[in-house]
Amino acid sequence: MNSKIVILNYHRIRPGSTSPATPFDDGVYTVNTDQFTRQMRWLKKHARILSEEELIDQIVTNKKNYLKPNVPSVVITFDDGYRDNYAIAYPVLKSLEIPAFFFICTEMIWERKLRWWDIVAYLLKKCRKASIVLDGREYVLKNNGLPVIEYLCRQMKEYPRERINEFIRIISEASEIDLPADDIQDAELMTQEQIREMAENEMTIGSHAHTHQALSCLDSQVHREELTLSKRLIEGVTGQPVKSVSYPFGLYKYIPLSIQEIARSCGYQLGFTSNFGVNYLNNINHMDLKRISGGLEKVSTVSLITFWPELFASTDDWFQISQK
């Protein structure tokens, strides 16, 4: 137990104890309010939950050992910057005095615009056609368009930004659905004031880059711009140094190896991926931290992951890991 750190990664939380429909991407929802609350209560009782300062002291500067025998060590993270992180997750974490990382895509928050995966889901879910044609290919919109949404989102991760914007226009025209109005998008996102409040109450606000593009599609100069601009904007709101970054999309195929050194040179001390795995202290890389993003719906599964993550170490497909 005192030789490894398990990092859990969430994105969105559904309100209440049921799972109401969303007009946006279902893939970014991990749990509902009831599930998340029960999981945090269990972790508070049975695990050592590390803050950013403690994690840096443990694996970067080696100032102090926070890991205890027979007690699992866990880190809680959220990606993107959705409003339910503030409205649902933050009150639960604050009441239980649990530290957590919230990684913010700054362009999304500053410009009040959802990213393309939510826009694609919105357009296809609203579409009432049996099928649509995109770039000469017909897509059948069965089951509320979910299979098509999942397929397009996988493909679009590696599109350059200009191609993404053009493809969204094509989807909008083919589906005969307008893009979601500004107020609809705004309601899904945290505000700068909410980010500041969380930072003032022991929550870590980290960078999720500025535009949330796959870094593998960008050159090294743009990598630096993505990380420095996001860092500067967040620090301007919170008044606190940003020491942690979550790489967009998170899997190795979307992250060039050079990004670790670039992130270090920008002032980051911790780098989080979406690559499934356990972080063992004997070979840990603090700029290449692995996380567990899927299979978190039940307290029983979270408890197994926390105590025996090796049980799932070779079953990545079972978790259907989120990559956003």
Do 241 and 168 fall within a single domain?
Answer: no
Do 313 and 223 fall within a single domain?
Answer: yes
Cα dihedral 254, 259, 260, 265 in deg (nearest 10)? -160
Do 32 and 102 fall within a single domain?
Answer: yes
What SS3 state is found at 131?
strand
Do 266 and 198 fall within a single domain?
Answer: yes
Distances (CA, A) of 233 to 90, 110, 161: 21, 9, 21
Do 210 and 74 fall within a single domain?
Answer: yes
Do 235 and 149 fall within a single domain?
Answer: no
> Along the 324 residues of the chain, how does pLDDT read in single tens digits?
678 999 999 999 999 777 668 999 999 998 999 999 999 999 999 999 999 999 999 999 988 888 888 899 999 999 999 999 999 999 999 999 999 999 999 999 999 999 999 999 999 999 999 999 999 999 999 988 999 999 999 999 999 999 999 999 999 999 999 999 999 999 999 999 999 999 999 999 999 999 999 999 999 999 999 999 999 999 999 999 999 999 999 999 999 999 999 999 999 999 999 999 999 999 999 999 999 987 788 898 899 889 888 777 554 444 444 445
Do 62 and 201 fall within a single domain?
Answer: yes
Cβ-in-10-Å burial (0-12, 13-18, 19+) of 110 comes to middle
In a domain, 57, yes or no: yes
Domains of the chain: total: 2
In a domain, 184, yes or no: no
In a domain, 324, yes or no: no
Do 290 and 261 fall within a single domain?
Answer: yes
**End residue of a domain, out of 145, 179, 213:** 179
Do 267 and 301 fall within a single domain?
Answer: yes
Distances (CA, A) of 194 to 68, 173, 286: 34, 35, 28
Do 55 and 148 fall within a single domain?
Answer: no
Do 146 and 250 fall within a single domain?
Answer: no
In a domain, 207, yes or no: yes
**End residue of a domain, out of 148, 179, 210:** 179
Strands (E) located in the chain: 4-10, 12-14, 29-32, 48-49, 73-80, 101-104, 131-134, 137-140, 204-207, 244-246, 270-272, 279-280
**Whole domain around residue 164: which residue ranges?**
116-179
The continuous run of DSSP H or E covering 182 comes out as helix 182-186
* CATH number, domain with residue 203: 3.20.20.370
The CB-based long-range contact list for 184-190 (8 Å cut-off, 24+ gap) reads 185/112, 185/113, 185/114, 186/112, 187/83, 188/24, 188/82, 188/83, 188/114, 188/118, 189/81, 189/82, 189/83, 189/108, 189/109, 189/112, 189/114, 190/81, 190/82, 190/83, 190/85, 190/86, 190/104, 190/109
Which of 274, 270, 268, 269 has the alpha carbon at shortest distance from 255? 274
Do 201 and 239 fall within a single domain?
Answer: yes
In a domain, 144, yes or no: yes
